[in-house]
Amino acid sequence: MATVLCVLYPDPVTGYPPEYARTGLPLLTSYPTDRSMPAPTGPLGFTPGELLGSVSGELGLRNYLEGLGHQLIVTSDKDGPESEFERMLPKADIVISQPFWPAYLTRERIAKASKLKLAITAGIGSDHIDLKAASEAGITVAEVTGSNCISVAEHVVMTVLALVRNYLPSHAISVDGGWNIADCVSRSYDVEGMDFGTIGAGRIGLAVLRRLKPFDMRLHYTQRHRLSTEIEAELNLTFHPDVKSLVQSVDIVNLQVPLYPSTEHLIDEAMLAEMKRGVYIINTARAKLVDRDAIVRAVEAGHIAGYAGDVWYPQPAPPDHPWRSMFYNGMTPHIAGTSLSAQARYAAGTLEILQDYFEKKPIREDYLIVEAGGLAGTGARSYQLT
């Protein structure tokens, strides 16, 4: 019998289940890339469209796991040595966590997790796990690659428009009973004709570029490997050999690279100084890609016109985190990749990983981050251990 320790975000303050705005989800049968969607066998254990990512949703896993005689422990209490997560960790064979409410698996915690064999990220981005320590401890790390790429790409498009059009302050004025149009439009522009650049044009970054193409913006990207000439021609892309060249050229900078040791603080004070005055920055990737306080200073100085981030460090962010009250911010708690639509996909992918693990079948290469003492599958392409 295995003990599965699952860390999920708290239920809605109004109780579970919530009142859903719609019934069901559109039926999708494929991702826009060549990757196939999660394909667990047997019943799903949930109805797509339900809230699965909070504690009572249990990712729809209870019947499957208990049907096999395993124990499922679900908690949102994850921080500090007295947390339920840390107390239960020595008993856990499998840990499941979501990047939105990450159960940080540090080297110290991994040392306490003597039975741990598998750590699953229900979603994309396993930087909340010390991957080097996990590989040294022989733990397999897997995530549901592809599951929420379009969810995040849609969020990026939304925040580009929200910042440039000054949507959020204008909406607040209308809610507050105001009608001062000049206050709304004094910072409002069209995106048409602007230069948009993404640092990272992988699954999400490329989906963002494709979605912004119809807005008649000039599109730029940088990453270590160039996209195909067909894709560059289709989207009329300008490739930049490095981050500095890209940020000097664009009006909107989008961050879409994984966080690993050498991408930490990719955007620091010096890189911000290379950007045009009035730049907008979108960061749905990871907070530590940027220097938190340098962003605040650049916004206060009027150098950055707006910063829309979906990601913070740590998560949950403390109430006094300076990005909460920073001018011209379009911050959200980490939600981009956990729409009800995304949850159905990554819950199904988590079930598929568990089924493969318990049936002693290989986990899809696409889902692997760490295996057999080193980076593997998607992990070998996306991460570096140093």
125 lies in the binding site for ligand NDP (CB under 6 A): yes
- 102 vs 205, which CB is nearer to ligand NDP? 205
Of 54, 148, 249, 329, which one interacts with ligand NDP (CB under 6 A)?
148
Q: Is 257 among the residues that bind ligand NDP (CB under 6 A)?
A: yes
The residue assigned the tokens 């100084």 is: 273
CA distances from 243 to 75, 200, 228, 236, 276 (A): 40, 10, 19, 19, 14
Quickly list H helices, the chain. 62-67, 84-88, 107-112, 131-136, 149-164, 167-175, 181-185, 203-212, 229-235, 243-249, 269-274, 292-300, 322-325, 340-358, 377-382
Give the C-alpha separation, 7 to 111, whole Å. Answer: 19
Of the residues 128, 203, 220, 334, which is catalytic?
A: 334
Q: Which of 98, 256, 315, 343 is catalytic?
A: 315
Q: Within 10 A of 375 (CB to CB), how many other CB atoms are there?
A: 21
The Cα angle at residue 21 between residues 20 and 22, in degrees rounded to 5: 90
363 is a contact residue toward ligand NDP (CB under 6 A): no
Residue nearest to ligand NDP (CB): 202
| Chain residues 223-242 in contact with ligand NDP, contact rule CB under 6 A | 223-225
Determine, following the binding rule CB under 6 A, whether residue 133 of this chain makes contact with ligand NDP: no
Task: Kindly state whether residue 141 participates in binding ligand NDP, applying the rule CB under 6 A.
Answer: no
Residue 85 CA to residue 106 CA, distance in Å, equals 13
If the CB atoms of residues 40 and 258 are measured against ligand NDP, the closer one turns out to be 258
Q: Which of 51, 92, 124, 217 binds ligand NDP (CB under 6 A)?
A: 124
256 is catalytic: no
Binder of ligand NDP out of 271, 279, 285, 347 (CB under 6 A) = 285
Q: Which of 119, 204, 212, 279 binds ligand NDP (CB under 6 A)?
A: 204
Q: Could you tell me the two tokens for 142?
A: 């897997």
- List interacting residues with ligand NDP (CB under 6 A): 123-125, 148-149, 152, 199-205, 222-225, 256-259, 263, 284-286, 310-311, 334, 336-337, 382
